[in-house]
Structure 1
Amino acid sequence: MTTSPRILARSEAILKSWKTLNWASAFSAFIYPALGLALLVTMIVLGLALEGLTLHWWYAPIALAVTAFTIFMCNMGIGPLHRIWQHRAGEIKWPAQVFAMFNCILAMQGSLRDWVNYHSQHHRFADKPGDPHNPFESKRWAWVGWILWRDEKDLERPMPMWLKENKVVLFGDKFHITLSLILHFAVPAVIYAIVALSGGSLILTALLHASVIIGRAIQFHATTLGVNVFGHMKTPLWFDYFLALLTGGEALHDHHHDHPRSALHLPKNGFWNRVVDYNGTFLLVLRRLGLAKNLEIAPQFA
């Protein structure tokens, strides 16, 4: 009698050391958010300490609004990436694809090819050995460990067959590093230059820049924690909805593995359902605009 070889847990099988650390992921997950927080604190301290710099009370609500808007825009990338490109819950036309692709760059999702391949493995081995981010092995690993330490074999996987003809996905995947540098560094540098030359407020500009960085970080960690960890655990309903607001409904994970191809994660009808599951609402809006079609909706959400 032969026995099949034991599949090692990913958190055990992958070598973890400073030499094998994925620095691009470390930058996205921790270093860049820390720089954004440092920029925010520095601007507040300078505004309070230096007479030449003025902090107005109304900077605070603007900064909070920009943070919330950044979270929303990041989810406008991850929603179509997850529900349309990953699970093929429908089709979106090229203008919506370009919009989603740039928001994936804003959200610092890295290679779209790797994103889809990792998520495919997750559904294949969900909560079992072989799952790239199994929270029952290690919650810390499921949160960020699997991002920080990668298996080279995972990164060598080709583009999934169903995306090989998608020119927008191929472009975004091929140039994701270049596009990230442009969007996260070149564009802010141009904005700073325009503000400085026009005599605008550099302190407000820096505060808003910090808000964008922090908003992106909040969405990033809400997704990895909300989906990979808490999405696979029993949590209070209020907490599920809180995470859903930060992830566009992606953290509403109870039925996702039963109906992965659903474009909606909550019932179609109901005002608050459409507010909380706003990634799904965005797809419904795209359908109304003629930019999405053939959306599949799970029976309990129709």
Structure 2
Amino acid sequence: MTPRSLAIPKNWKTFDIPSFFSAFAYPVLGVALFVTIVLLGIFISSLTFHWWYVPLALGVIAFTVFWCNMGIGPLHRILQHRAGELAPPAQVLAMINLMIAMQGRVRDWVNYHSQHHRFADQPGDPHNPFESKRWAWVGWILFRDKNDTARPMPMWLKKHPIVVWMDRFYNELSLVIHFVIPAIIYLVVWAAGGSLVLTALLHASVIIGRAIQFHATVYGINVLGHLKTPAWADHMMALLTGGEAFHDHHHAEPVSALHRPRKGVWNRIVDYNGTVLLFLEKIGWVRNLKIAPQFA
């Protein structure tokens, strides 16, 4: 089998513009907006810019990383590997968070990830780092084979009508989340006489947080997760990915709602995607969680 990094042509016909926007253009716009607002606040005296805006913005970045993982955790562990069942409210929450995280359609995500597990680190793996680290990071996102995106929704996901419906209207709903709602917020703040400077700074922070989580996922898991890395790097990437970066454990026990042992405060911090699933199980939004024996 020809490696995917060689089999897929790199040209404008295979170039995926929405993926380029979510991976690079949107983050650049977020950073540019953040820097512009800070500089304007510093050098233009007529604009009100308080020192506490910056730590607040950093807090929003961190919270956005966490919130995006609240979509990827249920998607990866429950919808992909069927380590439990999502009740309707959890399906809606997961799908909205996935749109905030700009992860693309669930159909494509699950089909790509199924190939990854089937051909892990071998030709046929959509993002094999041993072919090319750059390809495993973003190449496979930017250049697409039409046969990959033409695959139908996996059969087991068709039992989730909410997921199927929201996936069908992914682009339209994403436009509302990323452009219409922010525009309404700006309008409301302006009409109420609030600070557009602070609003823009926090908006930029959300975009940056989303970008950090996005690249921590595709690089920290697809590349670092398949290489030998020191423990501190694993834990750092886990904090940025909700525990998904503990990838060796995941390949050993893919059908597990936890990637770290249930006991231990630090385990529940670095594997917070699993911790949230445990909480959702307690309130009835998640059912029948499956946990690997060594993590129980």
TM range (shorter): over 0.9
Shift of 1:52: 1.3
Aligned equivalents of 1:208 and 1:18: distance in 2?
35
* 8 Å contact from structure 2 (residues 2, 123) kept in 1: yes
Q: Say if 1:83 and 1:263, in contact at 8 Å, map to a contact too.
A: yes
DSSP 3-state at the match of 2:102: coil
- Greater shift, 238-247 or 52-61, is seen at 52-61
1: CA distance, partners of 2:8 / 2:82 = 30
TM-score when normalising by structure 1: 0.97
Q: What is the deviation of 1:93?
A: 0.5
- Equivalent residue for 1:168? 162
Distance across 2 between alignment mates of 1:34 and 1:159: 32
Gaps of 5+ in 2: none
Q: Separation in 1 of the partners of 2:9 and 2:201?
A: 39
Normalization by structure 2: what TM-score? 0.99
Partner secondary structure for residue 172 of structure 1: helix
**Superposed structure 1 runs of 4+ greater than 4 Å apart:** none
Q: Which runs of 5+ in 1 are unaligned?
A: 1-6
Asked if 2 retains the 8 angstrom alpha-carbon contact of 1:264 and 1:298, the reply is: yes
Match of 1:94 in 2: 88
1:285-300 equivalent positions in 2, closer than 5 A: 285-300=279-294
- Distance in 2 between residues matched to 1:167 and 1:42, nearest whole Å: 43
Q: Secondary structure at the match of 2:127?
A: coil
Aligned residues: 296
2:203 matched to 1:190? no
Q: Which amino acid aligns with 2:274?
A: G
> How far does the alpha carbon of each residue in 1:82-102 deviate from its partner, in whole angstroms, 9 at most, with x for none?
000000000120001111110
Equivalent residue letter for 1:245: L
- In the alignment, which residue of structure 2 is the partner of 1:3? none
> How much does 1:250 deviate?
0.4
* AA matched with 2:177: L
Rounded to whole Å, the distance in 2 between the matches of 1:193 and 1:227 is 39
In structure 1, C-alpha distance between the alignment counterparts of 2:168 and 2:13, rounded to whole Å? 25
1:73 aligned residue: 67
1:60 counterpart = 2:40: no
Q: Is the 8 A contact 1:22 1:147 kept in 2?
A: yes
Structure-1 residue corresponding to 2:275: 281
Of 22, 29, 33, 1:28 maps to: 22
Output the CA distance in 1 between the equivalents of 2:271 and 2:102: 21
Supply the AA of the counterpart residue of 1:131.
D
- The amino acid of 1:223's aligned partner reads T
State the secondary structure of the residue aligned to 1:255. helix
Q: Distance in 1 between matches of 2:218 and 2:266?
A: 24
Q: Aligned to 1:164, what secondary structure does the other structure show?
A: helix
Quote the offset at 1:137 in angstroms.
0.2
Matched, 1:261 2:240: no
- Asked whether the equivalents of residues 48 and 54 of structure 1 are also in contact (C-alpha less than 8 Å), the reply is no
Separation of aligned partners in 1, 2:150 and 2:144: 11
Offset of 1:19 from its aligned partner? 3.8
Structure 1 match to 2:208:
214
- Deviation at residue 54 of structure 1 after TM alignment: 2.0
